[in-house]
Structure 1
């Protein structure tokens, strides 16, 4: 799956910009990246949302246990890959029909977050049990929300194209050829929201996430890591 967002939707993460600057490498534009995806996947479905958002996906080579799903509801667009172990109980919690699948559940969870602010976003994602990665774009508010599961069983990567767009994909090689070293694995157990404006761990939302420069031989330029809470030793007299 592929999601491309212009700088008017999401500012390029400074850490990824810095990673690309440390080791300059060839990049291509967002339009070229999209074209490469469509050329490589003849059965791909592509959706353009205005001038600033492009979503695309294919069922080719997907796992039967972790399918790729796409849905639109109330101007909320969602790409989802994976499966939820607790889908049944979540459908009851959100009042969804028995036939609802994971992508519709994620849209409903996002709507709860949006409409019941300041409902903590980490609570919404933290209730999802299973293997997943998803991209949500709310056209009404121009809000982007991205998340992965705790073990990153479904890989997701993000990078910056030659024209400054931020791209998300489950194929590292696709982004490597388009984003150069301005590329990283999206950290496991984390979410990014343009409303929040930064990466957050949904298990430890107060812990800072830092970007560590990757080794020269690695395909990406940085690794994002959740800092562990500092432990202050107590002493007795």
Structure 2
């Protein structure tokens, strides 16, 4: 799956910009990345969301345990990969029918939070039990929400294209060709929300997130870690 968003939606992380500056490598524009994804992926579907965002995905070569599904409702788009173990209880909580998939569930959970705000975003995400990563874009408010499960079972990466767009994908090789070293794994147990201050941990909401520069030999230019023992170890 792939999502690319302009600077009007996503403020490019300074750590990724710095990583690309330290070790310059070839990049392409966001439009070229999208064209390459569609051209190299069987049965790819591309969705243009005005001049500020694009989504693309394909059912080709995905595992039955890591389905890619799309839901669209009320100008909100959700692209979900993976599966939730507690779908039954979550469907009851949000009043969904038995056939509703994970993308529909996340979309409805987001709408409930947006319209009624009964609990923090981190709490909503913490209730999702399973293996997943997803991209949700609300075109009515230009709100972006991206999240990855605490174990990182569904890989997700993000990077910056030559024209400053921020791209998210489960395909590291696809992003590498367009983002160069301005590229990093999306940290497990975390979410990005342009409406709530950028990158945060929903697993440990009070902990800061630090970017650790990578060596020149590594594919990605940085790794984001939730503050704790792992960050301290990486600094030594």
TM-score relative to the length of structure 1: 0.95
State the distance in 1 between where 2:204 and 2:26 align: 36
TM-aligned CA distance change 1:118 to 1:21, over 3 Å: farther
- 2:133 equivalent in structure 1: 133
1:24-43 counterparts in 2 under 5 A?
24-43=24-43
2:168 aligned counterpart, secondary structure: strand
Distance 1:85 1:175 in 2: 29
Q: What CA distance in whole angstroms lies between the structure 2 residues aligned with 1:30 and 1:169?
A: 13
Distance in 2 (CA, whole Å) between partners of 1:105 and 1:99 is: 11
Q: Does the 8 Å contact 2:192/2:199 carry over to 1?
A: yes
Aligned equivalents of 2:51, 2:213: Cα separation in 1: 33
> What is the CA distance between 1:116 and its match in structure 2?
2.3
1:216-235 equivalences under 5 Å are 216-228=216-228
Work out whether residues 42 and 60 of structure 2, in 8 Å CA contact, stay in contact via their aligned partners in 1. no
Correspondence for 2:143: 143
- Give the Å deviation of 1:101: 0.9
Counterpart Cα distance in 2 of 1:99 and 1:93: 15
Q: Cα deviation per residue 1:103-122 (whole Å; 9 max; x = unaligned)?
A: 10000111122112373110
Distance in 2, Cα, partners of 1:106 & 1:166: 22
Partner of 1:110: 110
Secondary structure, in 3 states, of the residue corresponding to 1:36?
helix
1:79 and 2:79 are equivalent in the alignment: yes
Residues 167-196 of structure 1: CA distance to partner in whole angstroms, max 9, x if unpaired?
000000000010000000000000010011
**CA offsets per residue over residues 67-98 of structure 1, 9 Å max, x none?**
10011011110100000000000000011111
> Alignment partner of 1:105: what SS?
helix
Other structure's SS at 2:47 match:
strand
1:180-199 matched pairs, under 5 angstroms: 180-199=180-199
CA distance in 1: counterparts of 2:193 and 2:118, whole angstroms? 13
How many residue pairs get aligned? The number is 229
8 A contact 2:30–2:165 mirrored in 1: yes
1:176 equivalent in structure 2: 176
Cα deviation for residue 228 of structure 1 reads 2.0
| 1:118–1:162 CA distance, 2 compared to 1 (3 A) | farther
Does 2:133 align with 1:119? no
Instruction: Please list every run of 5 or more consecutive structure 1 residues that lacks an aligned counterpart in the other structure.
Output: 230-237
Residue 161 (structure 1) shift: 0.2
Helix, strand or coil at the partner of 1:150? coil
TM-score (norm 2): 0.95
Q: From the CA coordinates, give the structure whose radius of gyration is larger.
A: 1
Determine the C-alpha separation between the residues in 1 that align with 2:224 and 2:30.
Answer: 23
Q: Distance in 1 between matches of 2:162 and 2:116?
A: 37
